[in-house]
Amino acid sequence: MQINTTPSGQVYDAIVIGSGISGGWAAKELCEKGLKTLVLERGPMVRHGEYPTANWHPWEVPLRGNMPKDDVEANPVINRCYAFNETTEHFFVRDRQHPYVQEKPFDWIRGYQVGGKSLLWARQTQRWSNYEFESPLRDGYAVDWPIRYKDLEPWYGHVERFTGICGDRDGLDNLPDSEVMPGFALNCVEKHIQEAIHKKYNLSRRVIIGRCAHLTHPQDIHLQQGRGQCQMRTQCERGCPYGGYFSSVSSTIPWAEKTGNLTILPDSVVHSIVYDEDLGKASGVRVVDAVSRDLREYRAKIIFVNAATLNTNLILLNSKSNRFPNGLGNDHGLLGHFITFHNYRGNIAAAYDGFEDQYYYGRRPTQAFIPSFRNVYLRESGFLGGYMAYYVASRAGWGRDHRQDGIGADLKNALSDPGPWRISMGMQGETVPVYENHVRLSDLTDPWGIPQLVTSIGYTENDDKMVQDFLEAGRDMLESAGCKILGAWDNHQAPGLDIHEMGGVRMGRDPKTSMLNDWNQIHLCKNVFVTDGACMTSTGNQNPSLTFMAMTARAANRAVEELKRGNI
% pLDDT > 90, the chain: 93
Give yes or no for residue 381 having a pLDDT over 80. yes
CA distance 326 to 332: 9
Q: Tell me the DSSP string of 449-483.
A: SPEEEEEE----HHHHHHHHHHHHHHHHHHHHTTP
Give yes or no for residue 4 having a pLDDT over 80. no
Residue 164, Cβ neighbours under 10 Å: how many? 29
Residue 467 lies in a domain: yes
The domain tally of the chain equals 1
Tens of pLDDT, residue by residue over 474-525, are: 999 999 999 999 999 999 999 999 999 999 999 999 999 999 999 999 999 9
The strand pair at 346-352 and 37-40 is best described as unpaired
Contact 533, 502 (CB under 8 A): yes
CA distance 120 to 36: 28
Residue 370 lies in a domain: yes
Residue 390 lies in a domain: yes
Give yes or no for residue 539 having a pLDDT over 50. yes
Report CA-CA distances (Å) from 155 to 9, 173, 333, 431, 555: 35, 18, 32, 25, 10
Q: Tell me the DSSP string of 264-324.
A: EE-SEEEEEEEEETTTTEEEEEEEEETTT--EEEEEEEEEEE-S-HHHHHHHHHT---SS-
**How much of the chain is in helix, strand and coil states, percent to nearest 5?**
25, 20, 50
Residue 524 lies in a domain: no
Give yes or no for residue 345 having a pLDDT over 60. yes
Candidates 122, 96, 115, 108; CA nearest to 42 is 115
Residue 98 lies in a domain: no
Burial degree of 292 (CB within 10 A; 0-12, 13-18, 19+): exposed
Predicted local distance difference test score (pLDDT) of residue 120: 96
Domain assignment of residue 471, given as a range: 184-210+344-431+459-494
Helix, strand or coil, per DSSP, at residue 175: strand
Report CA-CA distances (Å) from 255 to 224, 247, 385: 9, 12, 38
Tens of pLDDT, residue by residue over 90-137, are: 999 999 999 999 999 999 999 999 999 999 999 999 999 999 999 999
Kind and range of the H or E run holding 348: strand 346-352
Tell me the average pLDDT across 451-463. Answer: 98
pTM: 0.96
Tens of pLDDT, residue by residue over 276-324, are: 999 999 999 999 999 999 999 999 999 999 999 999 999 999 999 999 9
Across 55-64, 65-74, 187-196, the highest mean pLDDT is recorded for 187-196
Predicted local distance difference test score (pLDDT) of residue 2: 45
CA distance 556 to 493: 36
Residue 503, amino acid:
G
Give yes or no for residue 356 having a pLDDT over 80. yes
Tens of pLDDT, residue by residue over 398-410, are: 555 555 677 888 7
Output the CA angle 49-52-57, nearest 5 degrees. 110
Predicted local distance difference test score (pLDDT) of residue 1: 41
pLDDT band for position 36 (cuts 50, 70, 90): very high
Predicted local distance difference test score (pLDDT) of residue 7: 61
Residue 463 lies in a domain: yes
CA distance 495 to 429: 12
Contact 523, 131 (CB under 8 A): no
Contact 239, 105 (CB under 8 A): no
Furthest CA-CA distance within the chain: 82
